[in-house]
Amino acid sequence: MIAIVDDEETVRRALARMLNASQFESEVFASGKEFLDSLTSRRPDCVLLDYQMPGLTGRDVQRRLALAGIDIPIIVVTAHDQPALREQCLADGAVAYLAKPLQRERLVGLINEALRARAAND
């Protein structure tokens, strides 16, 4: 399952449709808190994590996962592409950083890479 964490409903729906059309199961979350709370019952195989969200930002979510020792591949997505932000997210452990709007082929390729790397480490 691929978790989609984004505060914008239209983005969540579009990403879910894109992933479902690419044969991925997905679950959507409207906030970082909602996503983190869900981890007690189910862990995703990969997370598409919006960086700019009210409340917990994508970086906050990344840090909380790291502090809890939860290793899930994270692909950060943002509408505010900045080189320093990209470097920061990747240094914090994101497997990729993408600027919106997302290209389906690129996103699917990165998810597949993340899933293969995770499987190789298990």
| 7 class by beta-carbon count within 10 Å (0-12 exposed, 13-18 middle, 19+ buried) | middle
CB 117 within 8 A of CB 73: yes
SS3 78: strand
Strand partners, 3: 27, 47
**Which domains are present in the chain?**
2-121 (3.40.50.2300)
pLDDT in tens, 20-72: 999 999 999 999 999 999 999 999 999 999 999 999 999 999 999 999 999 99
Q: Which residues contact 14 (CB under 8 A, 6 or more apart)?
A: none
pTM above 0.75, yes or no: yes
